[in-house]
Amino acid sequence: MSAECAIIYSDAYQKYELSPWHPMKPVRLMLTAELIRAVGLIDKHSVRVIEPRLAADAELTLVHDPAYVDKVRELSAPGARDADGMSWGLGTGDNPIFEDMHEASATIAGGALAAADAIMSGDVGHAFHFGGGLHHAHRARASGFCVYNDVAIAAAYLQQQHDARVLYLDFDAHHGDGVQERFYDDPRVMTVSFHESGRHLFPGSGFPGQTGEGEGKGYSVNLPLEPGTTDEIFLRAYDDLVPPLARAFRPDIIITQNGCDAHWDDPLTHLALTISGFQELARRQHQLAHEFCGGRWLASGGGGYQAFSVVPRAWTAHTAAMADVKLDEVLPESWRQLCEQRSGAAAPRYLTRDDRAPAIDRATLDRARDAVAAGTAEIRKTVFPILGVE
């Protein structure tokens, strides 16, 4: 197994622009790639860049209905309009139709497949596909800014091509509903999602009682979080649940969804993680991959709607943890200037240190701790016995 780390990126990812006013801005991917370069991870620390490829229809339909793929392609033509689009989740405020939608979406799916191939061939040990993580897309419906579900496609592809057992860990603030749905009855893919409770946030699912069905019973794990959940609460829950689950499941590869919309300054969510917390979470994932599956780890991006001040720093810190590199805390001036040019606002000064910090009252913290304790207890009661976890 190679110890090398790679990122999967191409400027073609800038074509996945749902609209100029949409909260998921592709500029966040460009700024992440530029920051990874500016801090020297590529030139000084041997992080490789792998270009994505275009996923074939036969690969997309490992997850998606062929008729849905045809509809996405049909609506990708210049000036396309279709009154039927909304029945497929297309043409909505969350998922507007845009030109070359199929090609842009299939390239992101192909990026996940390129990462899977590089890892399973032994070419690299870890790969970070921060342009991916589009975990809400369903079999025949776009949802939550997601057209094709690249992480589910990668998991199904790893099953098909390598007969792999896949542990899927989702740390986006939103429940990974599309991935859970695809593998809900499949014991060869375990889905674990930590997310803000569906009582407060889209997509309104992901409760501890959703544990899978049929042969997949016990292989779907959900921990809903309350607003105000901090690094300390989140990481303790990770330590309590994820290593025992991995030990019982015995994965061949780990796929993680590392949306950074759980950050305290994200405009769409209500959790309270920090960038240093995201980096520590990545370090734990790194250790987990080496402990349980020979280091095979495919990380993806996901949500994150503070496009300039949070996303590039969070995913650069994640890349550094993946590559086992300690970076200078002061951000390069060249990148700060680029960020300011694109945002029109002052750029952050430090990698993981925030210029200001959230204020969270004791009652909110107590609710967050109590919710995690209750969710963890339910998972231990319902899921652990099925898997033989003591």
Which domains are present in the chain? Answer: 5-387 (3.40.800.20)
Q: Taking the alpha carbons of 37, 40, 41, 43 in that order, is the dihedral positive or negative?
A: positive
Res. 107 pLDDT band, cuts 50 70 90: very high
Mean pLDDT throughout 200-227?
A: 98
Average pLDDT over residues 323-328: 96
Q: Can you tell me the distance from the alpha carbon of 89 to that of 308, in angstroms, rounded to the nearest whole number? A: 28
Alpha-carbon span 13 to 26, nearest angstrom: 7
- For residues 312-337, give the mean pLDDT: 97
Mean pLDDT, range 359-383, rounded to an integer: 97
Residue 1 above 50 pLDDT?
no
Contacts of residue 11, defined as CB under 8 A and 6 or more positions apart, other chains included, come to 30
Query: How far is it, in rounded angstroms, from Cα 354 to Cα 267?
Result: 16
- What's the pLDDT at 389? 92
Tens digits of residue pLDDT in 15-33 = 999 999 999 999 999 999 9
Look up 136 and say whether it is catalytic: yes
3-state secondary structure the chain: CCCCEEEECCHHHHHCCCCCCCCCCCHHHHHHHHHHHHCCCCCCCCCEEECCCCCCHHHHCCCCCHHHHHHHHHCCCCCCCCCCHHHHCCCCCCCCCCCCHHHHHHHHHHHHHHHHHHHHCCCCCEEEECCCCCCCCECCECECCECCCHHHHHHHHHHHHHCCCEEEEECCCCCCHHHHHHCCCCCCEEEEEEEECCCCCCCCCCCCCCCCCHHHCCCEEEEEECCCCEHHHHHHHHHHHHHHHHHHHCCCEEEEECCCCCECCCCCCCCEECHHHHHHHHHHHHHHHHHHCCCCEEEECCCCCCCCCCHHHHHHHHHHHHCCCCCCCECCHHHHHHHHHHHCCCCCCECCCCCCCCCCCHHHHHHHHHHHHHHHHHHHHHCHHHHCCC
**Distance set, CA 60 to CA 63, 123, 150, 195 (Å):** 6, 24, 8, 26
Question: What's the predicted TM-score (pTM) here?
Answer: 0.97
Per-residue pLDDT band at 112 (split at 50, 70, 90): very high
Using pLDDT thresholds of 50, 70 and 90, give the confidence band for residue 3: low
Q: Which carries the bigger pLDDT value, residue 143 or residue 81?
A: 143
What band does 218 get if pLDDT is binned at 50, 70 and 90?
A: very high
pLDDT at 208 over 70: yes
Say how far apart CA 238 and CA 223 lie, in whole Å.
10
The residues, any chain, with a CB within 8 Å of residue 330's CB and separated by 6 or more, are 349, 350, 351
What mean pLDDT do residues 54-75 have? Answer: 97
Please, which pLDDT band fits residue 83 given cuts at 50, 70 and 90? Answer: low
Query: pLDDT by residue (tens digit) across 250-307?
Result: 999 999 999 999 999 999 999 999 999 999 999 999 999 999 999 999 999 999 999 9
Q: Which two tokens stand for residue 58?
A: 């036969």
Q: Round the average pLDDT of the chain to a whole number and report it.
A: 96
Count the neighbouring beta carbons within 10 Å of the beta carbon of residue 291. 12
Token pair, residue 212, equals 């899978």
| CA-to-CA separations, 19 to 23, 91, 152, in angstroms, rounded | 9, 11, 24
Q: Which of 136, 195, 270, 286 is catalytic?
A: 136
Q: Predicted confidence band at 85 (pLDDT cuts at 50, 70, 90)?
A: confident
